[in-house]
Every structure is written in C-alpha cells, then in structure tokens.
Chains A and B, each alone.
Chain A
C-alpha cells in the first residue's frame, strides 16, 4: 500500500509570496498524481491532473511538477483566495491514496 506524505503540515504565507508544497510517495507512481484544494465546508477542487497539467479553469499561478516519488505544487504569487487545505492523491495503484494535507493560511 502506497503512503503519501505531504509537507509542511501548515504554512502561513503573505499575499504575493511564492508557495511550494511537497508530496512524497512511498513507491513510484510515475506521473499518476493529482492535487486538490479544499476550503472549509466545500468539496475538494481539482487543481492538477496528472502531475503537471492544470485542470480546466485553474489559474496559471498554480503549477505542478515531479515524477516517481517526489512532487511539488507551486503557487507563484499567493492570492488571498488561495487559503485552504491542499491534498495530493496517487492513482497509480490500488488502493488510491491521499496525502494528509497541507494547510495554507494567509498571513
């Protein structure tokens, strides 16, 4: 069973700053990885799928990279609406697995 580990657990960032979130898989998942943003009381929103492809309607400030076991989600210039919890998810193997999430707070 693949374990997805995200870091850091929490990030407090000022608007305009660059943000880099990390996701590590316990085994290689190729590029079969997705990123989501979730705000309180809302369903997750797909940001990146697969590893480096932005989903429809996602702003260009969000970008994904990585292959194998190491992945990153970068927000080039944080906006106030980017607060929330970010999850990575591998779908290379059963069972599908999500990371535990990184909370991004606006400073």
Chain B
C-alpha cells in the first residue's frame, strides 16, 4: 500500500537549519510530483514547495523562497526539504503529499504522510 513517512522535525532556534525527509513506498515514485504542505498550530493548510515527478522543476511559496530547498532522490524513494534561516513563523506540522495523477505538476493530494512537527523557538 502507499505510504509516506516524514522525519526530521524537532525544536530549532531561530536562524538555524533543519532538513526534513519523506520516504515513500507502494507506488512508482518517479511518476508522481511531490509536495510539502504545512499547517501552523490551529491554522489552515499552506503549500510550501513542490518538485515535479521528473525532478526538473521546483516551485516555492513566496513565504519560503530563498530559504527552503526541495529535492528528491529516486534511489532512496525520498523527498527532502532543506529549511534554512528558520523563523518562528515556520513553526508548523510539515506534511509531504503526493499529487493524485501521474506526470502532472499540479493537482489534488491523494496521499499524505502523518506529518512532522517543526518548532522554531529560542
């Protein structure tokens, strides 16, 4: 069955970095575009970053552009989110999610991980 498992969250001081990972299984990783979506405590959902199925294109929300980097490693069936210069506004549960169609960039998300909590605090 399809599984997405995030890791790498934790408590980090403002200005520091953190790297999240999302290991996927149960589907052909190379045919699906993958996203990171976050949710601040008690708030709604916010798209953060996307890497297309072919790893050619990457897009970022304005709120993280220049600070976050998304990547994927097909040999490890893993999506990464490198987060630099973290601020309190980045405190959230971070989910990785799969677009529900093969070989497209945008779409609804049919599978989600359980989320990993990132807390930015001194």
Interface residues of A (CB under 8 A from B): 32, 34, 36, 43-46, 48-50, 55-56, 87, 89, 91-92, 94-101
Nearest-CB distance from A10 to chain B (Å)?
A: 14
What separation, in Å, do the CA atoms of A97 and B47 have in the docked complex? 7
Q: Is A49's CB under 8 angstroms from B108's CB? A: yes
Task: Report the Cα distance A43→B4, complex, angstroms.
Answer: 11
Given the contacts A46-B100, A49-B108, A96 and B47 also touching, CB distance less than 8 Å: yes
Confirm or deny: B80 has a beta carbon within 8 angstroms of a beta carbon on chain A.
no
A50–B100 alpha-carbon span in the complex (Å): 10
The reply to whether A99 and B100 contact each other, CB–CB distance below 8 Å, is no
The chain B residue with its CB closest to the CB of A33 is B108
Are B113 and A49 within 8 A (Cβ)? no
What B residues does A45 contact at CB under 8 A?
112
Q: Which residues of B contact A48 (CB under 8 A)?
A: 108
Which residues of chain B from 73 to 121 have any CB-CB distance to chain A below 8 Å in the complex?
95, 100, 106-110, 112-115
Is the Cβ of B45 less than 8 Å from the Cβ of A94?
Answer: no
CB-defined contacts of A101 to chain B, threshold 8 Å: 44-45
Known contacts A43-B113, A95-B62; A87 and B108 CB within 8 A of each other: no
Task: Give the chain B neighbours of A95 by CB distance below 8 A.
Answer: 47, 61-62
**Residues in chain A near residue B114, CB distance under 8 A:** 43
